[in-house]
């Protein structure tokens, strides 16, 4: 045992942590704290030694020890300066955007021109210095600073540039420009990976240069107030880079590119490939149509090609403001080319294509209520909260006192003004026998129902007794009549009648046989409908041999009800087809008259818009409802099925 222990310790020296202790061994509960500590320490030193041995060899043989070393490297990233820098920058950016939410919606705060100039000039100076630093090795073969310092400085400058840009844009109510290829997170990983290895200058300098120049472009277009030129500049820069990449792959082969570079430029290259292939196909199709080599002049028209309209105005379809970045625009174009449906959605056939909806906007940018979506029916909209919101304490006090006074006045009026009549009512009702209607509740009405026939029987004797039936029902419901109309109706109900006889159920007075229940004034359609609906319930009662409530009936005879309703609807709408057509046409959005309406506005509850027009209106800063001019505070989307 001891031998084994010794040899093991000899091999794995890091396991020997017996002397390490957090607290004194003699203390109470010391082992409970010290043992876990020792184990953790051993584990830590094991990882450390493993890591040391791996990095020693990893430079020589890269692929052999991929597992452990990559794991450690990845874990090491989270403790590197770059990760911390990335985290801090992200937090600062987040705070800057959140800070913008403190501004009121109505007032647009603007930075004075000089401050904007100073901010951008700072960033440009720092970036320019860094570009010089990057290009230094090419000039005199001697780097200005140590390579690790260089990465740190570059990353810091880029973070600073991000912060400045976000601050300036959010305070001027603009959207910060984004870098698609070189986000700060990706850059931090890239730089970390570069510091771990020993990179050759040509591996990292193009990327650093691209990132720095990209930021420089952003700052210079912001400074000169020409944000819409960014796409152009970015395209030029990226084209240059792509040419460089192509040349390098051509001369040195694909393997010469580091993994991170390949990964970074993959989406761009894929998009470029798709676009190029599609363009080639389109060109081929055009050539086939026009047929320049054929002898006869039978040239076909290329305008009936599926993508003709797209190709003719692809830039308009792309819906660019000019502030985008090359890569994202290229990818968008590729998506559109690959997927016509997508093109339709992105704006080829959109009614109002001049505006592009930003993906995510901070709440503070919601200038109009057309942009703030409310998931449920806002309580505010129901109980008009607008008045309550802006009130001061004093106003609230005044209204409360007023409400109180009104309530007191009404109370007094009720007690004194109505007192004599109320008294008279009481004395009047005392004269009568008890009124059963007063005792009926939802729970016990069944008892009263079964009681009803008996009371009915007594009706002749004591006329002043009250029944469940309406007190002033003087209609001739229970009189048998031999009118022609009733005869006709009787024929209609003939089958039902037979059924009831076959059922052999003793008919109570409530379920009146049809021949006696046909009142003379059946001409009224409402009565007729009521009778029809009652009749189906009654016949169902007879079938099931028990008394049914409406809810019980609906449970038992669901398909029957559905059928009834459908028949009724068909009878109603079938006659007026024109009206139906009209109502369908009226459900299109009032703005575009194309899509169906699916947006309801709060608090006015106007239902007149479609989603696209809502977006357009919101982006244009409409504040009032387009129909009723109420202030719009939110909208909800309705799913019309």
Partner 1 sequence: MSQRLAKEYRALSKTLGRDPEYAYIISLAPVSEENLRKWESLITGPPDTPYFGHEFTLQIEASEAYPLEPPKVQFQARCMPHCNVDFDSGRICLSVLDAAHWTPAWDLLHVVHAIWLLLASPEPDSPLDVDLACLVRAGDRSAHNSLIAYYLNGGSRGHCGHVSER
Q: Contact positions toward partner 1, by CB under 8 A?
A: 351-354, 590-594, 608, 613, 616-617, 620, 622, 624, 626-627, 629
**53 vs 354 by CB, closer to partner 1:** 354
Output the smallest distance, CB 328 to partner 1, in A: 25
**90 vs 355 by CB, closer to partner 1:** 355
Output the smallest distance, CB 632 to partner 1, in A: 12
Output the smallest distance, CB 638 to partner 1, in A: 18
**41 vs 356 by CB, closer to partner 1:** 356
The alpha carbon of residue 285 and the mean position of all alpha carbons in its chain are separated, in whole angstroms, by 41
- Could you tell me which residues come within 8 angstroms of residue 158 by beta carbon, excluding any fewer than 6 positions away? 182, 184, 187, 211, 212, 215
Output the smallest distance, CB 308 to partner 1, in A: 16
Coil, strand or helix at 638: coil
Output the smallest distance, CB 174 to partner 1, in A: 21
**354 vs 549 by CB, closer to partner 1:** 354
Give the separation between CA 89 and CA 91, rounded to whole angstroms.
5
**231 vs 615 by CB, closer to partner 1:** 615
Output the smallest distance, CB 624 to partner 1, in A: 8
Give the separation between CA 291 and CA 278, rounded to whole angstroms.
19
Output the smallest distance, CB 304 to partner 1, in A: 19
- Could you tell me which residues come within 8 angstroms of residue 380 by beta carbon, excluding any fewer than 6 positions away? 386, 602, 603, 633
Give the separation between CA 223 and CA 245, rounded to whole angstroms.
30
Task: Give buried/exposed letters for 261-300 (b at 16+ CB in 10 A, else e).
Answer: beebbebbeebbebbeebeeebeeeeeeeeeeeeeeeeee
**228 vs 458 by CB, closer to partner 1:** 228
Q: Quick one: CA dihedral 362, 365, 370, 372, positive or negative? A: positive
Which own/partner contact pairs does 5-10 have at CB distance under 8 Å and 24+ positions apart? Answer: none
DSSP-derived letter for residue 357 is -
What are the DSSP E strand ranges found in 487-605? Answer: 599-602
Output the smallest distance, CB 334 to partner 1, in A: 24
Give the separation between CA 351 and CA 164, rounded to whole angstroms.
37
**203 vs 351 by CB, closer to partner 1:** 351
**31 vs 621 by CB, closer to partner 1:** 621
- What are the structure tokens assigned to 332, written together? 């968008």
């Amino acid at each position: 045992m001891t031998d084994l222990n010794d040899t093991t310790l000899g091999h794995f020296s890091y396991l020997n942590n017996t002397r390490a202790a957090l607290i004194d061994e003699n203390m109470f509960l010391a082992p409970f704290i010290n043992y876990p500590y020792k184990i953790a320490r051993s584990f830590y030193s094991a990882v450390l030694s493993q890591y040391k041995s791996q990095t020693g060899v990893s430079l020589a043989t890269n692929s052999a020890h991929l597992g452990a070393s990559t794991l450690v490297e990845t874990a090491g990233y989270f403790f590197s300066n770059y990760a911390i820098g990335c985290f801090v920058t992200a937090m600062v950016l987040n705070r800057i955007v959140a800070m913008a939410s403190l501004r009121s919606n109505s007032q647009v705060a603007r930075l004075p021109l000089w401050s904007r100039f100073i901010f951008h000039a700072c960033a440009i100076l720092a970036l320019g210095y860094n570009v010089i630093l990057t290009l230094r090795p090419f000039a005199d073969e001697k780097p200005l600073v140590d390579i690790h310092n260089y990465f740190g400085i570059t990353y810091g400058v880029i973070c600073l540039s991000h912060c400045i840009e976000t601050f300036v844009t959010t305070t001027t109510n603009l959207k910060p420009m984004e870098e698609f290829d070189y986000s700060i997170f990706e850059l931090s990983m890239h730089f970390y990976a570069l510091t771990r290895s020993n990179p050759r200058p040509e591996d990292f300098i193009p990327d650093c240069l691209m990132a720095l120049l990209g930021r420089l472009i952003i700052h210079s277009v912001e400074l000169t107030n020409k944000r819409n030129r960014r796409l152009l500049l970015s395209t030029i820069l990226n084209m240059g880079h792509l040419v460089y990449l192509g040349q390098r792959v051509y001369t040195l082969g694909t393997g010469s590119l580091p993994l991170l570079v390949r990964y970074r430029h993959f989406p761009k290259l894929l998009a470029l490939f798709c676009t190029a292939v599609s363009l080639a196909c389109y060109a081929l199709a055009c050539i086939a149509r026009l047929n320049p080599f054929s002898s006869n002049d039978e040239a076909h028209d290329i305008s009936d090609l599926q993508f003709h309209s797209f190709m003719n105005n692809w830039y308009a379809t792309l819906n660019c403001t000019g502030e985008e970045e090359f890569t994202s625009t290229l990818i968008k174009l590729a998506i559109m080319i690959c997927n016509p449906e997508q093109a339709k959605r992105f704006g080829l056939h959109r009614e109002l294509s001049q505006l592009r909806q930003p993906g995510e906007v901070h709440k503070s940018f919601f200038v109009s209520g057309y942009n703030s979506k409310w998931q449920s029916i806002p309580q505010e909209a129901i109980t008009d909260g607008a008045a309550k919101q802006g009130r001061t304490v004093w106003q609230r006090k005044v209204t409360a006192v007023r409400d109180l006074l009104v309530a007191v006045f009404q109370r007094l009026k009720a007690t004194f003004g109505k007192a004599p009549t109320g008294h008279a009512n009481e004395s009047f009702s005392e004269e009568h026998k008890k009124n059963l209607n007063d005792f009926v509740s939802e729970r016990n009405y069944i008892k009263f129902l079964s009681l009803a026939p008996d009371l009915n029987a007594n009706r002749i004797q004591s006329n002043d007794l009250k029944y469940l039936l309406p007190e002033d029902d003087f209609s001739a419901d229970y009189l048998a009549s031999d009118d022609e109309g009733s005869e006709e109706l009787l024929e209609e109900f003939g089958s039902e009648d037979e059924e009831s006889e076959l059922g052999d159920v003793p008919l109570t007075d409530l379920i009146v046989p049809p021949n006696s229940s046909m009142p003379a004034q059946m001409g009224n359609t409402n009565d007729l409908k009521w009778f029809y609906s009652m009749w189906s319930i009654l016949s169902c009662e007879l079938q099931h041999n028990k008394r049914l409530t409406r809810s019980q009936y609906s449970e038992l005879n669901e398909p029957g009800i559905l059928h009834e309703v459908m028949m009724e609807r068909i009878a109603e709408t079938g006659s007026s087809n024109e009206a139906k057509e009209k109502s369908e046409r009226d459900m299109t959005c009032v703005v575009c008259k194309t899509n169906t309406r699916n947006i309801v506005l709060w608090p006015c509850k106007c239902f007149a818009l479609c989603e696209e027009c809502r977006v357009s209106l919101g982006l244009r800063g409409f504040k009032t409802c387009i129909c009723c001019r109420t202030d719009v505070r939110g909208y909800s989307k309705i799913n019309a099925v």
